[in-house]
Chains A and B, each alone.
Chain A
Amino acid sequence: MQGVKDCIPTLLGYLSIGFAAGVIEITAGLSLAETALLSLIVYAGSAQFIAAGMLASSGSATAIIFTIFFVNLRHLLLSAAVSPYFRHLTPLKNMWIGSLLTDESFGVAMTRAIGRKTLSERWMHGLNITAYLNWFVANMAGAYFGRWITNPERLGLDFALPAMFIGLVVLQLMQRKNKKLHINVAIIAVVCVIFASMASLGSMSVIVAAVIAATMGVVMERWK
């Protein structure tokens, strides 16, 4: 139950982003059933925004799936980063934990992990399942009301995702002991992603930039 409680602060954030995602999926021409399926089995805000956007501009299936894969490669890093706290569980149990891992549940879990050696399985399921159900409800609400919104960009709804990432980075930075180092890592990541994008690395840009910036973090840490 504590996991459910710890999820509550993120619920309203999910609701607004999930709502925006639902609106964008419906206005991109997806049916209500397709939106529900996307929300239930893909369950990733960024992937859903991309899928909707590319389906609307009639991108090819392979292009859509691979773009989503590269954007979701960051989950490799998130999953690896939480793994030390679940080493006491079997691989199968870890699979269930990982299958519902999101940027937000990761953020909440890492916050709770500060000063701890392990996290409880029950706590994590409470957190994950609360977030999952809330996301589905938000998506459906957005899809339902989306029928009356003809131009989501005019309402700034497409900015929900970047705004959430800004919020998550700021919250992460506030909790870190070595704030300066993390701020430097963030700045390096932004600069790198700009260069990587200009070098036409496309959807690999984010991964390349993140790997370089995190590595620089370790290097700078040694320097001191």
Chain B
Amino acid sequence: MEVRWDVFWIIMGSALLTFIPRVLPLMLFSKIQIPMWLLRWLEYVPVAVMAALIGQELFMADNQLLPITHNPALWAALPTIAVAIWTRSLLGTVLVGIVAMMILRYLMG
């Protein structure tokens, strides 16, 4: 049940650098008028960020493109996407993803 000092400082540092980007725009833009072009741009940001995160998780490892035949994450993504479209349920999507990944890891050894 102990907290090591080095881990404590890593957690504190991470917390601060998570807090700043979360609150800064909200605090600034409540005082400053946001230009129209920025609003248009912001509309595309969420999908762009999340798609980029997915792309990195599915295709890359150590800055290298993973070969399709040795990439269980990419194959597990297929049923995950299908379930997301059909059910529109976040839980269903996550559970199917985890189970698909488990089966694929088992098959691919």
Q: In the complex, A87 Cα to B28 Cα: how many Å?
A: 10
Interface of B is mostly: helix
Q: Are B11 and A94 in contact (CB under 8 A)?
A: no
A173-193: which have CB < 8 Å to B? 173-174, 176, 181-182, 185-193
Q: Are A101 and B22 in contact (CB under 8 A)?
A: yes
Q: Are A95 and B37 in contact (CB under 8 A)?
A: no
Q: Are B60 and A12 in contact (CB under 8 A)?
A: no
A6-24: which have CB < 8 Å to B? 9-10, 12-13, 15-17, 20
By size class, the interface of chain B is 35 or more
B18-60: which have CB < 8 Å to A? 18-19, 21-31, 34, 37-60
Q: Residue of B at shortest CB range from A171? A: B88
Residues of A within 8 A of B96 (CB): 163
Q: In the complex, A94 Cα to B73 Cα: how many Å?
A: 38
Q: In the complex, A16 Cα to B99 Cα: how many Å?
A: 12
Q: In the complex, A216 Cα to B43 Cα: how many Å?
A: 12
Q: Does B68 reach chain A (CB closer than 8 Å)?
A: no
Q: In the complex, A217 Cα to B55 Cα: how many Å?
A: 18
Q: Residue of A at shortest CB range from B31? A: A91
Q: In the complex, A195 Cα to B80 Cα: how many Å?
A: 24
Q: Which of B18, B30, B48 is close to A185, meaning CB atoms less than 8 Å apart? A: B48
Q: Are B80 and A163 in contact (CB under 8 A)?
A: yes
Contact indicator per residue, chain A 118-132, by CB within 8 Å of chain B (1) or not (0): 000000000000000
Residues of B within 8 A of A42 (CB): 11, 14-15, 18
Q: Residue of B at shortest CB range from A178? A: B43
Q: Residue of B at shortest CB range from A12? A: B91
Q: Which of B13, B24, B77 is close to A61, meaning CB atoms less than 8 Å apart? A: B13
Q: Are B50 and A169 in contact (CB under 8 A)?
A: yes
Q: Residue of A at shortest CB range from B76? A: A159
Given contacts A84-B34, A192-B52, A197-B59, 15 further A-B contacts (CB under 8 A): A38-B14, A61-B9, A64-B14, A65-B14, A79-B23, A83-B29, A87-B30, A159-B76, A163-B98, A190-B52, A190-B54, A206-B53, A209-B52, A210-B49, A218-B44
A interface residue numbers (CB < 8 A to B): 9-10, 12-13, 15-17, 20, 30-34, 37-38, 41-44, 46-47, 51, 55, 61, 64-66, 68-69, 72-84, 86-87, 89-92, 94-95, 97-99, 101, 103-104, 106-107, 110, 153-174, 176, 181-182, 185-194, 197-198, 200, 202, 205-206, 209-211, 213-215, 217-218, 221
